[in-house]
Amino acid sequence: MSRMMLVLMMACGLSLSALACAGGGADPATAPAPANNTPNNANNAPDPSDCFDRDGDGFGRGAGCQGPDCDDTNRNANVDCGACTDGDGDSYGSGAGCRGPDCDDADRNVNPAAVEVPGNGKDDDCVGGDLACVDADGDGFGTGAQCRGPDCNDADRNIRPGARELCGNGKDDDCEGGDEVCAEDCVDADSDNFGTGAGCAGPDCDDNNPNVNPMADEICNSRDDNCNNTTDECPGELQACDRNRQVCLAGLQGMCRATPDCVSGLICEGNACLGSEGVACQAPGDCAGSFICNNNVCAADPNRDICAELDCEAADMFCLEERAECVECVEHIDCPGILLCAGFTCQDIPDRTYSDEASAVREMAQFLADCFNGGNEDEIVPCGIIDASFIDNPLAKDEVVDFICDDATDADFIGGERDLSAAQAVVGCGFFNDDDLTWENAIQPESFYEECMWTVPPAGLFDEISVVVDSCQQFPAMR
């Protein structure tokens, strides 16, 4: 059994139908355990390794536990899982069996795990009042001190200060006082002044997307933004595109000051980015010092014990042999309390749990909306770790995109129209909207805390926050 399988289960997930420890949802004593647990031994005696037990009291989730645990961060609280007075069934209320206190026990959408919806008059997440920003379209602009600024049209998220002004569409896209007049003799479907005709600034390689034209900046998004027939090229020599961060970083043999300056998989050694385990190489000098170039792939040097050399334990860290470095964590069990391992760093990252197969697509749409709304314009932010223990089939990007763009309504989201608008912005519904979601591999059924979600800041003035769904080990903020 891998250390990942021994990850200690958080009390409940932040799904639309959260798996409650008490009061609402499934009874933790009868809820099915993740399928990656090992079976009991031949004598049918409980196998302690088959127990997700964060606080080490023998109570938790799994066939090897002595029983369910309603507070898996407190080894002294494990007996009475039913001792929770919970008026609205959201698992928050009063009593040792609750996940915590509830600031409104008559509304199941108000609790410490809920998503704060600005301007609805409620303290949704129990942190001390409603957000001081009334923002109907979810673009960050509206009325209130916590808004990014005033919005000249709070019913259309594509209209806001700083947005690209599209000529001839009858809208004041950038809130600067009216629509821009298009150039004469120019057929320009996306109003970026590039198209067909003498009045255009030049030809356009994609006249359906205003962010794609010969004057646009090339960014790492699997698209030819600047119409030069090359995708994701970087301006610097020996640079490469890191799509998880949507930035150009130093590639193999490129200059660096620290490992985060290098693309994923490379190590900064002697101010050069060199290969670690599995990186393609052409010569021994392409690999970092503790690796050799074997059959054009960097592999661990059998004559060196890199973990012994690093002596990570002396610094209370863990040895990541395949990258020849000391890290804060390798598996979730390495992190204290309720923190979880993402990008080899212990993070306070919320649990996103699918309630069941029937709800998975709708709940993923909500997760994407929450992630987008919680993103930051200046830094990468972790916004969820996914528990897919209760779904039976892979969940792919196309299924969720089709639902959001074709079938979803306000009623499918906690935040109503605002969350629907955010989800549509992420996946790129509509004629002019970009796909701001990087999600290559389907979420596998019965997987547990292996896939993470995070946001990437906008790459340019006219871009929006992007969302990434990928392996938790690929989380880039601290690498």
3 state DSSP class of 403 = helix
Residues in Cβ contact with 30 at an 8 Å cutoff, skipping those fewer than 6 apart: none
For residues 177-182, average pLDDT: 83
Tell me: do 284 and 393 sit in the same domain. no
Is residue 124 assigned to a domain?
Answer: no
Residues 364 and 424 placed together within one structural domain of the fold? yes
380, two tokens = 């990468």
Q: Which amino acid is at 349?
A: I
Q: Evaluate whether residue 424 is within a structural domain.
A: yes
128 domain residue, yes or no: no
Q: Are residues 350 and 469 in the same domain?
A: yes
- 465 shares a domain with 352: yes
Does residue 362 share a domain with residue 455? Answer: yes
Number of domains in the chain: 2
φ/ψ (deg, to 5) at 149: 160, 175
Q: What is the CA radius of gyration of the chain?
A: 25
In a domain, 366, yes or no: yes
Percent of the chain surpassing pLDDT 70: 82
Q: Is the confidence at residue 324, as pLDDT, over 50?
A: yes
d(CA 272, CA 431): 43
Residue 161 lies in a domain: no
Distance, in Å, from the CA atom of 442 to the CA atom of 375, rounded to the nearest integer, reads 23
Which domain range does residue 386 map to? 345-474
Are 356 and 467 found together in one domain?
yes
CA neighbor of 52 nearest in space, from 99, 12, 101: 12
Cα–Cα distance, 45 to 53 (Å, whole number): 17
Number of helices (H), then strands (E), belonging to the chain: the values are: 4, 15
Q: Are residues 363 and 272 in the same domain?
A: no
Question: Same structural domain for residues 470 and 356?
Answer: yes
Q: Say if strands 340-342 and 345-347 run parallel, antiparallel, or are unpaired.
A: antiparallel
For residues 252 and 364, membership in a common domain is answered with no
Residue 110 or 169, more confident: 110
- pLDDT score, position 294: 93
CB-CB neighbours of 57 under 10 Å: 18
Indicate whether 350 belongs to any domain. yes
Q: Which of 290, 323, 356 is the last residue of a domain?
A: 323
Question: Once rounded to an integer, what is the mean pLDDT over residues 123-127?
Answer: 82
Indicate if 301 and 353 belong to the same structural domain.
Answer: no
Largest CA distance in the chain: 84
- Split at pLDDT 50, 70, 90, the class of 73 is low
Same domain, 350 and 310: no
pLDDT digits (tens, 9 = 90+) for 75-121: 666 555 667 788 887 778 887 777 778 899 988 888 887 777 766 77
Instruction: Classify burial at 332, counting beta carbons within 10 Å of its beta carbon; exposed 0-12, middle 13-18, buried 19 or more.
Output: buried
**Tokens in use for 321?**
């042999």
Q: What is the pTM of this model?
A: 0.61
Same domain, 311 and 383: no
3-state secondary structure (DSSP) of residue 471: strand
Confidence of residue 451 (pLDDT cuts 50, 70, 90): very high
Is 307 inside any structural domain?
yes
